[in-house]
Amino acid sequence: MKPSIQKEQIRRNALSVDCWQRYAGHRHQVTGLLCELPLESSTPALCVLGAGNCNDLDLRQLAARFATMHLVDLDGDAMHEGIQRQQLDDASGVKVLGSVDLAGLIDVLDDRTGDGSISEPRLHRFLQQPGPWIPRPLEPLAGSFDVVASVCTLSQLIDSIGVSLGKNHPNFLELVFAVRRQHLQLMLALLRDGGRGVLVTDFVSSDTCPELVDASPERLPSLCVQLIQQHNFFTGLNPMAIVRLLSQDAAFQNQTADVRLTSPWCWRYVSRTYAVAAILFGKTGGSRPAKHPTRP
């Protein structure tokens, strides 16, 4: 019997709960990117998808920049405890939305028949759903954020598919690409016109590139280009492919502007080092309002 996806994510968050010091460089990069974005509103609103332990977010610095912050994750306890550790007071404008499945896939992947296999009809219904989708607890917030950040969450959404289905499942790749597309659509749906999306994603680790452990900041950009050329990256997480998707795919190009990729940096996690980069994009004004069907 496979552990439920939610339990597994909570277990992983527990493993990295004490990583505040270790994440300092990564936190500096993520927080810096969010704080440096030009904002039009005098009361800017931030939404963070996958906030978890909040070890990659300097919440006090963010609270000084944003009037309100919504933190969203499956693991509500991790976010509450992260806020406590960073000693934010009640006036900081932070709101926590826990137990939110950002891909809407957990019920599908955890729904097993007697022999432990997945319900194929449910899986196909998921794959056939039309257009953008937004988790129900986030519906009232659609179109309301100046900045939406996803912080190393897409890799976890995709990893859950591999762990649950196995990479040899005939629908594995289709599901990975559907979840990636849906995550980008969700970020756009939450943004107000003129808002900025920041997709921070880990895309390769020292498991397949041991050189990452000691790579200097000067060496890292050329090393990452080389790794991408060699197809040494997590399935679905080639940052250059995500840039192309947002700027050239018919479903995105009319809604996005100024799509760009940052230089990579290293994130020293508990047991390995990841190369991370952020894809920054604007949501254009005048895009047609998206419909947000509820999952069947």
Ligand X SMILES: C[S@@+](CC[C@H](N)C(=O)[O-])C[C@H]1O[C@@H](n2cnc3c(N)ncnc32)[C@H](O)[C@@H]1O
Q: Is 212 in the site for ligand X (CB under 6 A)?
A: no
d(CA 4, CA 8): 6
Find the helix or strand (DSSP H, E) in which 45 lies: strand 45-49
Q: Is 201 in the site for ligand X (CB under 6 A)?
A: no
Shortest distance (Å) from residue 196 CB to ligand X: 19
Nearer to ligand X, 119 or 253 (CB): 119
Nearer to ligand X, 45 or 106 (CB): 106
Q: Which of 31, 156, 205, 238 is the binder for ligand X (CB under 6 A)?
A: 156
Build a one-symbol-per-residue string for 29-68: x at contacts with ligand X by CB under 6 A, - elsewhere.
Answer: ---------------------xxxxxxx------------
CA 43 to chain centre: 24
Nearer to ligand X, 101 or 146 (CB): 101
CB 246 within 8 A of CB 184: yes
- The first and second tokens of residue 151, run together, are 């912080």
Report which residue's Cβ sits closest to ligand X.
Answer: 52
Build a one-symbol-per-residue string for 101-140: x at contacts with ligand X by CB under 6 A, - elsewhere.
Answer: xxx--x----------------------------------
In three-state secondary structure terms, 161 is helix
Shortest distance (Å) from residue 160 CB to ligand X: 6
Q: Is 153 in the site for ligand X (CB under 6 A)?
A: yes
Shortest distance (Å) from residue 82 CB to ligand X: 7
Q: Is 86 in the site for ligand X (CB under 6 A)?
A: no
Q: Is 138 exposed, middle or buried (0-12, 13-18, 19+ CB in 10 A)?
A: buried
d(CA 111, CA 128): 18
**Angle between helix 5-15 and helix 76-85 axes, rounded to 10 deg:** 20
CB 18 within 8 A of CB 257: no
Widest pairwise Cα distance in the chain:
56
Q: Interface with ligand X by CB under 6 A: which residues? A: 9, 13, 16, 50-56, 73-75, 78, 100-103, 106, 151-153, 156-157, 160
